[in-house]
């Protein structure tokens, strides 16, 4: 675009400076409106209706969808399972990854190889991770049961019995989310100023104290970020792992909110009800995000 | 001269290519069957050069229905879609389909009288055929004759009652020195389809109003002794370690257990006949097939046709509907039906196709295909064996699956499981919209 054309289009330079940024934002906003805001409002709108399978008939039911969800024992169970599953996965994953990052930060021979090995699960998609663990935990041909039989003489139906289905799921999810957290912790550890560490050594702090009183507070912004990210991934991206590994079973034992949403929306085509579930999840995520922005910046120690 | 000829040929081809009607055919048959279907459609296109069919394997029956709904709402419905049997009422209510009956009535070349009544009866609702029956199957008992011989069971006398079944399972169990079970009796996929079949086998309906055939179903009627017979068997086999259960609807896992000879018997769809014949040969064991065993002292009702059918979707362009009808008609012809039957085990759904196969001596060489057909043909024909028609069928199945899983993990007794399944299924039927 020649300069003259630009001037013709946007007038003088001051006007151009005002309009031009908005013009650049248009493509982004188009995408966001089309793929995020419109579906979100659509879901909000649909959540007040009972909609027939192909969407040809709809009745306004007010808040009935929400009411029936909160009086549905299965839905409340799913809320409960989501909390337990997300809580366990996030807590274990955060502490384990911090610990692993500390180890990987040591200058030992072959640390690069260990790092690569630990990062490998990150390159695998959730669905593939689920399928891998599905194979490994297969009661008949799975390696886990093969080893268990040889070593301890026990056989477990990992994916079809309580409580092992939940254990398997939590284990696989941690395995999958661990590398992401480790990468971030490693980066954070490397930015811990060496003067502080040296000073603490001179002052005679034990290594236990150094880790929990100095390093952990110093990397707290990353911890906070990782907690939020892990909550989001354990709540939403867990769908693929659950679908591939347990299909929410046995019974509704491993059905979390996202899997319940999938069942109601895509298996049973209850569009109104599924939209209501969607709105509830949206609100939950909103709360998490608001917490992140209000408390995150204030409470966490930034250098 | 040659040049002029070429120009003419090119011109004709261009005109032809413009005149071609393009239609889409979605199906849910994965694996080796993708190629079988593609070849059948290729044959169709050779016979009908003016029609171009785009075949797509869209995923499982559940996925195909979900994607169909989005496609219809986006205003670009596919032309022919294969859906499972339990989608029937949903599709009738949808208002987006062209009932196959309307096309049959207008087409004098098509004789629906040649179809197996057992198959037609399932898909006819209120006397009207809404979709074209296509891949029809029923459950069948598969057993490992070699293993039967090894443990002293008569390979030519498979169990016919529940007590014989339990006996046979007990004999098939093999334990290692630590007492772990390394081989056991039986498996079937954890899927309510088998529950429905066992209701029909005992000549019992699943829902009221003649299985939803004379009026819309208002509630399930399976909370009775017949259902308890089956759940008790399932529970006993599981508790005694005579059966291995899969995840929900995991057909592959059940087949794998049987093929790897971890179990001696398998109840699965007749659509697995061809696959299991091949795999048993590869694994070096002799395959046996039999009718489903019955609870002791009950009379045999029959099996219900399962599987899928072909639906034609409403289109703006009538020529596309006509082309879709031609394709559907072709796929139900004896030739393609025989190919399909041999490649999978799904029934040839026409009397003339079965006749041809009989004359060719196919069933003498393939007795397992014959067992499957005989079990269907000897079924009592009434509302109970025609199968239930329920709008909320997927939810009803889910209610049963859930309750069965809870029973198997020891949370519920068989009776409690039935109560819970009944409660949730009735709720789903009431909420169907």
Say yes or no: A9 and A134 in one domain.
no
A274: closest CA of chain B, how far (Å) = 13
Cβ burial of A217 (10 Å; 0-12, 13-18, 19+) is exposed
Would you say B258 and B250 are in contact if contact means Cβ atoms under 8 Å apart? Answer: no
| Both tokens assigned to A185 | 């912790």
Nearest to B129 by CA among B316, B332, B432, B322: B332
Predicted local confidence at residue A1, as pLDDT: 45
Containing structural domain, residue A172? 67-299
User: How many CB atoms within 10 Å of residue B279?
Assistant: 17
Provide the 8-state DSSP code for A57: -
Q: What is the pLDDT of residue A153?
A: 74
* Co-location of A118 and A235 in the same domain: yes
- Dist. CA A75–CA B396, nearest whole Å: 17
Q: Which of A2-16, A90-104, A108-122, A243-257 has the lowest mean pLDDT?
A: A2-16
Q: What are A225-269's pLDDT values in tens digits?
A: 899 888 888 888 889 999 989 988 788 899 999 999 999 998 888
**pLDDT for A43 beyond 70:** yes
Residue of A83, A84, A71, A33 lying closest to A284 (CA atoms): A83
Kindly state the tokens that stand for B4.
């002029």
Looking at residue A10, its pLDDT comes to: 53
For B48, the token pair is 């009908």
Using the beta-carbon criterion (under 8 Å), do A54 and B246 form an inter-chain contact? no
pTM summary value: 0.88
Q: Does the beta carbon of B409 lie under 8 angstroms from any beta carbon of chain A?
A: yes
Same-domain check for residues A21 and A102: no
Q: Best residue in B251, B405, B406, B425 to probe A by mutation, most A CBs within 10 Å? A: B405
Spatial CA neighbour of B391 closest among B88, B83, B63: B88
Which portions of chain B are predicted below pLDDT 50?
Answer: none
Tokens of residue A105, six digits = 């930060």
Contacts of A147 (CB under 8 A, 6+ apart): none
Tokens 């995923």 locate to: B59
Closest Cβ–Cβ partner in A50, A159, A251 for B402 = A251
CA-to-CA dists, residue B63 to A113, A254, B131, B397, angstroms? 41, 21, 19, 16
pLDDT for res B15? 56
B239 near A CB under 8 A: no
Predicted confidence (pLDDT) per residue in A139-168, tens digit: 777 888 888 878 877 778 888 888 899 999
Q: B276 CB contacts (<8 Å, ≥6 apart)? A: B142, B255, B258, B259, B266, B268, B287, B368
Distance (Å, rounded) from C-alpha A301 to C-alpha B186?
Answer: 61
Q: Let me know whether A77 and A126 are in one domain.
A: yes
Task: Count how many domains chain A has.
Answer: 2
- The reply to whether residue B96 touches residue A54, judged by beta carbons under 8 angstroms, is yes
Residues of A in contact with B411 (CB under 8 A): 162, 251
Specify if A22 maps to a domain.
yes
The answer to the question of residue A290 being in a domain is yes
Looking at the structure, do residues A24 and A162 belong to the same domain, yes or no? no
Asked whether the beta carbons of residue B180 and residue A138 sit closer than 8 angstroms, the reply is no
Question: Angle formed by the axes of helices A220-232 and A164-190, to 10°?
Answer: 150
Measured at the CA of A75, the angle between CA A73 and CA A77, to 5 degrees, comes to 70
Identify whether residues A130 and A227 lie together within a single domain.
yes
- Out of B69, B245, B249, the one facing A53 most closely (by C-beta) is B69
The predicted pLDDT at position A193 comes to: 83
Per the CB < 8 Å rule, is A50 touching B433? yes
- Structure tokens, A205: 């702090």
Question: B260 and A140: CB-CB below 8 Å?
Answer: yes
- Per-residue confidence band for A296, with pLDDT thresholds at 50, 70 and 90: low
Q: What is the pLDDT of residue A139?
A: 76
- Per-residue pLDDT, averaged over A15-40, amounts to 88
Does A61 map to a domain? no
pLDDT of residue A67: 94
Claim to verify: residue A132 and residue A232 sit in the same structural domain = yes
Question: Cβ A161–B95 below 8 Å, yes or no?
Answer: no
Residue spans of the domains in chain B: they are 21-136+306-368, 139-302+392-432
Does a structural domain hold residue A237? yes
CATH of B21-136+306-368, one of 3.40.50.10860, 3.40.190.10, 3.90.1150.10, 3.30.70.100: 3.40.190.10
In a domain, A62, yes or no: no
Q: Is 70 exceeded by the pLDDT of residue A9?
A: no
Query: Which phi and psi (to 5°) does residue B305 adopt?
Result: -70, 130
User: A–B: how many Cβ contacts below 8 A?
Assistant: 90
Give the angle subtended at the CA of B30 by the CAs of B26 and B36, to the nearest 5°: 80
The three-class DSSP label of residue B359 is helix
Kindly provide the b/e burial profile for residues A98-137, where b requires at least 16 CB atoms within 10 angstroms of the residue's own CB: bebbbebbeeeeeeeeebeebbebeeeebeebbbbbbebb
Q: Give whole-number Cα distances, A162 to A25, A158, A167, A182, B337, in Å.
A: 51, 8, 9, 31, 44
C-alpha Rg value of chain A to the nearest Å: 25
Residue A11's pLDDT band, with cuts at 50, 70 and 90, is low
The rounded distance, in Å, linking the Cα atoms of A212 and A202 is 17
- Could you tell me which of A244, A247, A249 has the C-alpha nearest to residue A134? A244
Residues A142 and A16 in one domain: no
- Of B163, B215, B220, the C-alpha closest to B196 is B220
pLDDT at A303 over 70: no
Q: What is the mean pLDDT of chain B?
A: 93
On whether both A237 and A149 belong to a single domain, the answer is: yes
Half-sphere exposure of B404 toward its Cβ, with a 13 Å CA cutoff? 30
Q: Which residues contact A197 (CB under 8 A, 6 or more apart)?
A: A210, A214
DSSP, collapsed to helix, strand or coil, labels residue A75 as helix
Smallest CA–CA distance, residue A69 to chain B, in Å, is 13
Quick one: CA dihedral B340, B345, B348, B351, positive or negative? positive
Q: Is the reported ipTM for this assembly greater than 0.85?
A: no
Q: Do B247 and A140 touch (CB under 8 A)?
A: no
Cα separation, B395 vs B401, in Å, equals 10
Which chain B residue has the Cα nearest residue A58?
B433
CB atoms within 10 A of CB A149: 16
> Residue B150 corresponds to which tokens in the numbers above?
């090894």
Phi-psi region of B289 (alpha: psi -120 to 50; beta: other; left: phi over 0): beta
User: Does the residue A255 lie in any domain?
Assistant: yes
Distance, in Å, from the CA atom of B92 to the CA atom of B85, rounded to the nearest integer, reads 12
- Give the domain CATH number at A146: 1.10.3720.10
Environment class of residue B35 by beta-carbon count within 10 Å: exposed (0-12), middle (13-18) or buried (19+)?
exposed
Q: What is the pLDDT of residue B221?
A: 97
- pLDDT value for B2: 63
Taking CA–CA distances from B245, the nearest residue in chain A reads A160
Q: Which residues of B are less than 8 Å from A268 in CB distance?
A: 392, 394-395, 398, 428
Interface check B245 vs A, CB under 8 A: yes
Residue from A46, A140, A150, A253 to probe the interface with B (highest B Cβ count within 10 Å) = A140
Candidates B151, B182, B156; CA nearest to B167 is B151
Q: Tell me the CATH number of domain B139-302+392-432, given options 3.40.50.620, 3.20.80.10, 3.30.450.20, 3.40.190.10.
A: 3.40.190.10
Q: Within a domain: residue A59?
A: no
Q: Do A146 and A36 fall into the same domain?
A: no
Angle B334-B48-B12 (CA atoms, 0-180°, nearest 5)? 165
- C-alpha distance from B211 to closest chain A C-alpha (Å): 21
């Amino acid at each position: 675009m020649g300069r003259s054309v630009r001037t013709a289009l946007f007038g003088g330079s001051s006007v151009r400076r005002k309009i031009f940024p908005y013009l650049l934002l248009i493509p982004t906003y188009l995408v966001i409106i089309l793929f995020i805001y419109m579906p979100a409002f659509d879901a909000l709108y649909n959540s007040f209706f009972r909609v027939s399978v192909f969407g040809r008939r709809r009745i306004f039911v007010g808040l009935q969808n929400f009411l029936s969800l909160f009086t549905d024992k299965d839905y409340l169970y799913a809320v409960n399972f989501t909390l337990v599953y997300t809580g366990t996965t996030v807590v274990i994953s955060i502490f384990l990854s911090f610990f692993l990052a500390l180890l990987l930060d040591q200058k030992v021979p072959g640390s690069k190889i260990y790092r690569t090995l630990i990062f490998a699960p990150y390159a695998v998609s959730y669905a593939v991770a689920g399928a891998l663990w599905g194979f490994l935990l297969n009661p008949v041909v799975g390696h886990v049961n093969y080893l268990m039989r040889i070593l301890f003489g026990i056989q477990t139906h990992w994916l079809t019995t309580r409580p092992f289905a939940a254990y398997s799921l939590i284990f696989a999810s941690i395995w999958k989310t661990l590398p992401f957290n480790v990468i971030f912790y490693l980066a954070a550890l490397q930015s811990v100023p060496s003067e502080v560490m040296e000073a603490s050594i001179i002052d005679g702090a034990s290594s236990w104290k150094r880790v929990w009183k100095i390093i952990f507070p110093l990397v707290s912004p990353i911890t906070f970020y990782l907690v939020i990210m892990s909550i989001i991934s354990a709540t939403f991206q867990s769908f693929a792992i659950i679908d591939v590994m347990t299909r929410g079973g046995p019974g509704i034992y491993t059905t979390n909110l996202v899997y319940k949403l999938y069942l109601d929306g895509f298996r049973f085509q209850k569009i109104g009800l599924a939209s209501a579930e969607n709105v509830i999840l949206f609100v939950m995520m909103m709360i998490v995000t608001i917490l992140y922005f209000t408390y995150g910046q204030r409470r966490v120690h930034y250098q | 001269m040659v040049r002029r000829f070429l120009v003419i040929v090119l011109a004709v081809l261009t005109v032809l290519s413009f005149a071609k009607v393009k239609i889409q055919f979605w199906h849910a048959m994965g694996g080796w069957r993708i190629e079988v279907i593609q070849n059948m459609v290729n044959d169709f296109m050779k016979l009908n050069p003016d029609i171009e069919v785009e075949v797509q394997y869209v995923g499982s029956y559940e996925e195909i229905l979900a994607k169909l709904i989005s496609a219809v709402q986006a205003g670009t419905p596919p032309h022919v879609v294969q859906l499972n049997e339990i989608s029937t009422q949903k599709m009738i209510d949808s208002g987006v389909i062209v009932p196959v009956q309307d096309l049959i009535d207008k087409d004098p070349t098509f004789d629906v009288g040649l179809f197996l009544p057992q198959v037609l009866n399932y898909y006819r609702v209120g006397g009207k055929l809404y979709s074209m029956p296509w891949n029809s199957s029923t459950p069948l008992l598969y057993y490992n004759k070699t293993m039967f011989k090894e443990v002293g069971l008569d390979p030519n006398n498979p169990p016919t009652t529940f007590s014989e079944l339990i006996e046979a399972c007990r004999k098939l169990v093999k334990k290692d020195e630590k007492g772990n079970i390394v081989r056991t009796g039986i498996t079937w996929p954890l899927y309510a389809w088998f529950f429905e079949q066992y209701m029909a086998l005992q000549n019992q309906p699943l829902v009221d109003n003649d299985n939803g055939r004379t009026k819309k179903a208002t509630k399930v009627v399976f909370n009775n002794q017949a259902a308890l017979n089956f759940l008790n068997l399932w529970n006993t086999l599981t508790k005694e370690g005579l059966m291995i259960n899969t995840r929900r609807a995991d057909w592959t896992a059940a087949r794998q257990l049987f093929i790897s000879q971890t179990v001696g018997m398998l109840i699965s769809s007749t659509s697995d006949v061809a696959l299991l014949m091949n795999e048993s040969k590869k694994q070096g064991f002799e395959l046996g097939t039999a009718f489903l065993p019955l609870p002791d002292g009950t009379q045999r009702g029959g099996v219900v046709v399962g599987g899928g059918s072909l639906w034609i979707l409403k289109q703006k362009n009538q020529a596309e509907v006509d082309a879709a009808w031609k394709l559907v008609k072709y796929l139900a012809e004896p030739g393609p039906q025989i190919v399909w039957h041999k490649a999978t085990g799904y029934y040839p759904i026409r009397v003339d196709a079965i006749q041809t196969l009989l004359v060719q001596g196919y069933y003498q060489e393939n007795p397992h295909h014959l067992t499957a057909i005989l079990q269907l043909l000897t079924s009592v024909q009434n509302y109970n064996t025609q199968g239930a028609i329920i709008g909320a069928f997927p939810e009803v199945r889910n209610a049963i699956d859930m309750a069965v899983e809870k029973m198997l993990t020891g949370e519920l007794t068989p009776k409690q499981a039935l109560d819970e399944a009944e409660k949730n299924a009735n709720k789903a039927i009431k909420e169907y919209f």
